C-alpha cells in the first residue's frame, strides 16, 4: 500500500441513528384509529355538535336573566364561551383516549387523589353559590366532584379487580369506605345529587364484582335510610322533594321546565322562537332539555334520548367482548356515570324526579364541567380500545357475570376461565 492510499472504512448510515419521530407519531395515530370505537366516538361528537346548537338556542334566555343595569350580556354570550370550552374539551377527550389502559388507570388514580384532597378543602375555602359551597377558585373556578366522578369510578374498578389476584382482600369494604368518605364530604356542601350518583356507580361496580345478594339488600336498605335522613336534615333536599311530591307551583323550577318542554309540541316553535324559555332559570345548563323541547319539539327530544341509549348500548356491546376485568369494570362504571347523569337530568325536566342541579352531559353549557365530561368520555374510549385482530378468549361480560353469580353462591370457578 502506498502512503497516499487509505484503507476503506465503511461509513455508518446516518439514517440508522436519526429517530423518525414524525413517523412514530403517525404510527401511533394509526394504531389509535384502528383500536378506538369509531361508532362510539361519532355518537359522542354528534351529540356535542347538537349541544352547541341547543346552547345557542338557550343562550339568549340566560343572558337576559343574568344581565344587570351595569352590564348587558350579548344574546350569544354563553354560546361563544361554550364553543371555546368545547374546543378544549375535545382536545382533552382525544388526548386521553390515546392512552393505553395502564396509562389511563394511572392518570385516573392521580386525578382522583388530587380531587379527593380538593374535596376536603371545599368546606374551608369553597365559594358559595345559590346556597351551596361546591366550588374552589384557584385561578379558575371548578367543582372537584365533577373531576372526581370519572376518576373515582376507574379507581374503584381497579381496587375491585384486585380480588382476582388475592380473593382475601376486602375490596368491597375498601371501596365502601372510600364511598363513605366522599358522600360525607359531598353532604357537607351540600350536594345530594352527586352523592346519589357516586353511590349508584359504586352499586353497579360491586354488583358486577359479585357481592352477595344479602349484602346488596342491606346496602339498598341503608341507602333508603340515608335518603330519609337527608330529607329531615337538609332543608334544600326536603323542599325539592316536597315540591316534587306535592306537584309544585307555577313558579317552581321543575314545573317551569315541564311547561317549557311541552310548549313546542311535537315539532317545536322553531329555532329562536321560544317564549317560555325566557322565564326558565338555568336554561343553558340544568334545563336545556326543556329548551330543546320548546324550540325543536318532542320528536327531537326523543332523538336525544335515543342517542344516549345508543351510547350506553354501544359500550355494553364492547364490554360483552372484553376479557380484561379492569377494563370491564371501568367501562361499566363510566357508562353508568354518564348514562345515569343524563337520564336523571331528563327525568327532572319531565317532572318525574326531584331537581338535582345536574347538567345534561355533552349537551349543557359548562366551563370546567365540560372538560370533566370530556375527560369521562376520553377515559371511556381509552379503556374500551381493543385491537380488532385479537381473538377474544372468553365471552367477556357474560362470563364475568356468570363468575360473579357462582362466586356469590359459593361455587368454585377456575381463574383461567376469566383471566386472559
Work out how many domains the chain is built from and give that number. Answer: 1
Please report the pLDDT score of residue 416 as a whole number: 35
Residue 17 in any domain: the answer is no
In a domain, 218, yes or no: yes
Give Cβ neighbours of residue 352 (< 8 Å, ≥ 6 apart).
Answer: none
> Confidence class of residue 419 from pLDDT cuts 50, 70 and 90?
very low
**362 is a domain residue:** yes
Any bridge partners for residue 132, and if so which?
Answer: 129
Rounded to an integer, what distance in angstroms lies between the CA atom of residue 197 and that of residue 147?
13
pLDDT interval class at 97 (50, 70, 90): very high
Mean pLDDT along residues 356-384: 91
317 domain-assigned: yes
Q: What is the mean pLDDT of the chain?
A: 81
Tell me phi and psi for residue 170, to 5 degrees. Answer: -80, 70
Domain membership of residue 7 (yes or no) is: no
Domain region containing 134: 37-417
**In this structure, is residue 29 part of a structural domain?**
no
Per-residue pLDDT of 238-248, as tens digits, reads: 666 666 565 55
pTM of the model: 0.83
Per-residue buried b or exposed e for 291-328, using 16+ beta carbons within 10 Å of the residue's own CB: bbbbbbbbebbeebeebbeebbebbeebbebbbbbbbb
On the question of pLDDT at 391 being above 60, the answer is no
Would 12 be classed as within a structural domain?
no
Whether residue 224 is predicted with pLDDT greater than 60 in this model: the reply is: yes
Amino acid at each position: 500500500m502506498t502512503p497516499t492510499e487509505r484503507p476503506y472504512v465503511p461509513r455508518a448510515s446516518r439514517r440508522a441513528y436519526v429517530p423518525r419521530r414524525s413517523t412514530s407519531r403517525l404510527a401511533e395515530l394509526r394504531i389509535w384509529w384502528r383500536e378506538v370505537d369509531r361508532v362510539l366516538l361519532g355518537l359522542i361528537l354528534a351529540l356535542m355538535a347538537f349541544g352547541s346548537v341547543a346552547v345557542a338556542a338557550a343562550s339568549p334566555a340566560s343572558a337576559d336573566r343574568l344581565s344587570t343595569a351595569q352590564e348587558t350580556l350579548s344574546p350569544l354570550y354563553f354560546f361563544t364561551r361554550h364553543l371555546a370550552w368545547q374546543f378544549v374539551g375535545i382536545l382533552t377527550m382525544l388526548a386521553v383516549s390515546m392512552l393505553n389502559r395502564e396509562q389511563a388507570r394511572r392518570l385516573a388514580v392521580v386525578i382522583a387523589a388530587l380531587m379527593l384532597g380538593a374535596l376536603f378543602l371545599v368546606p374551608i375555602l369553597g365559594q358559595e353559590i345559590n346556597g351551596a359551597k361546591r366550588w374552589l377558585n384557584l385561578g379558575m373556578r371548578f367543582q372537584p366532584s365533577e373531576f372526581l366522578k370519572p376518576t373515582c369510578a376507574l379507581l374503584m374498578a381497579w381496587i375491585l379487580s384486585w380480588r382476582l389476584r388475592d380473593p382475601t382482600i376486602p375490596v368491597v369494604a375498601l371501596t365502601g369506605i372510600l364511598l363513605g368518605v366522599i358522600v360525607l364530604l359531598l353532604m357537607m356542601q351540600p350536594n345530594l345529587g352527586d352523592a346519589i350518583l357516586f353511590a349508584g356507580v359504586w352499586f353497579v361496580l360491586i354488583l358486577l364484582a359479585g357481592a352477595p345478594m344479602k349484602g346488596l339488600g342491606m346496602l339498598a336498605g341503608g341507602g333508603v335510610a340515608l335518603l330519609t335522613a337527608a330529607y329531615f336534615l337538609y332543608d334544600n333536599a326536603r323542599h325539592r322533594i316536597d315540591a316534587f311530591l306535592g306537584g309544585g307551583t307555577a313558579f317552581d323550577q321543575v314545573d317551569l321546565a315541564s311547561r317549557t318542554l311541552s310548549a313546542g309540541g311535537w315539532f317545536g316553535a322553531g329555532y329562536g322562537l321560544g317564549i317560555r324559555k325566557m322565564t326558565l332559570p338555568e336554561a343553558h345548563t340544568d334545563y336545556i332539555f326543556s329548551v330543546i323541547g320548546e324550540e325543536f319539539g318532542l320528536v327531537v327530544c326523543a332523538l336525544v334520548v335515543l342517542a344516549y341509549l345508543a351510547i350506553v348500548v354501544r359500550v355494553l356491546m364492547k364490554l360483552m367482548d372484553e376479557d380484561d376485568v379492569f377494563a370491564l369494570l371501568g367501562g361499566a362504571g363510566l357508562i353508568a356515570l354518564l348514562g345515569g347523569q343524563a337520564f336523571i337530568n331528563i327525568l327532572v325536566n319531565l317532572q318525574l324526579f326531584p331537581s338535582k342541579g345536574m347538567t345534561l352531559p355533552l349537551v349543557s353549557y359548562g366551563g370546567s364541567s365540560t372538560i370533566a365530561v370530556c375527560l369521562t368520555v376520553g377515559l371511556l374510549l381509552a379503556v374500551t380500545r381493543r385491537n380488532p385482530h385479537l381473538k377474544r378468549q372468553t365471552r367477556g361480560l357474560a362470563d364475568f357475570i356468570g363468575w360473579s353469580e357462582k362466586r356469590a353462591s359459593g361455587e368454585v370457578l377456575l381463574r383461567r376461565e376469566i383471566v386472559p
